[in-house]
Amino acid sequence: DEPLSNLDAKLRVQTRSEITRLHNRLGTTFIYVTHDQVEAMTMADRIAVLRDGLLQQLDTPQNLYDHPGNVFVAGFIGSPAMNFFDATLTGTRDEVVVDTGNFRVRLPQEIAARVADWLGKEVVFGIRPESIHHVEFVPPGTPTETVQATVDVTELMGNEIFLYLESAGKQYIARVDPRARVHNGETIDVAFDMSN
């Protein structure tokens, strides 16, 4: 149970890779218990996400990340964690809009078709920090919706910047290109990748 929790960061990464090599060499089933989602994602073939002793989802790491079964799993997998917004789906079956009360974003048609039965109902809109881009650094071909936000804090990580943002009182995190030039207190436009 949590065998790596007392190791420093460098030794933890090294030991993780050693355990993975051992697992591959032996070809046996390992059950590894951890609260560290990075360990789970990097070492596992399949992950069982538990909450209060109840199984929430059993799946591959990538499927847990891409298709979480519920809000708990979505918030557990990924660092920083997924951003969640209470919202209502408005519009028509052909054009569904997520209305958070703070901002409105239109869903792409293929996603709108899957959620059209929820029109007029309250939902939780989730978007991962890496799916929020500075408007000047959106990957080509990405379907986006623009949201205005105020930068509260910036954390330059070298290969990326974490932006702690606020839109009408709601705080959330974006992971953006390190070339983005933003300053604390500045109001900027960010682009939500709506393909997920």
Fold of 9-76: Rossmann fold (3.40.50)
- Start-to-end Cα distance in the chain: 34
117: DSSP letter: G
- Tell me, what's the pLDDT at 156? 94
List, in sequence order, the alpha helices (H) in 27-182. 37-43, 61-66, 71-76, 109-115
> Whose structure tokens read 């799916």?
131
| Residue spans per domain, the chain | 9-76, 83-193
- Tell me, what's the pLDDT at 2? 66
- Tell me, what's the pLDDT at 89? 97
Mean per-residue pLDDT pooled into runs of 10, the chain (196 residues): 76 88 89 84 92 96 95 92 96 94 94 93 96 96 96 95 93 96 96 93
* The domain defined by 83-193 carries CATH number 2.40.50.140: yes
- Tell me, what's the pLDDT at 1? 56
pTM here is 0.87
CA distance 134 to 143: 14
List all residues 6 or more positions away from 142 whose beta carbon is below 8 Å from its beta carbon: 133, 191, 193, 195
Q: Which helix (H) or strand (E) holds 94?
A: none
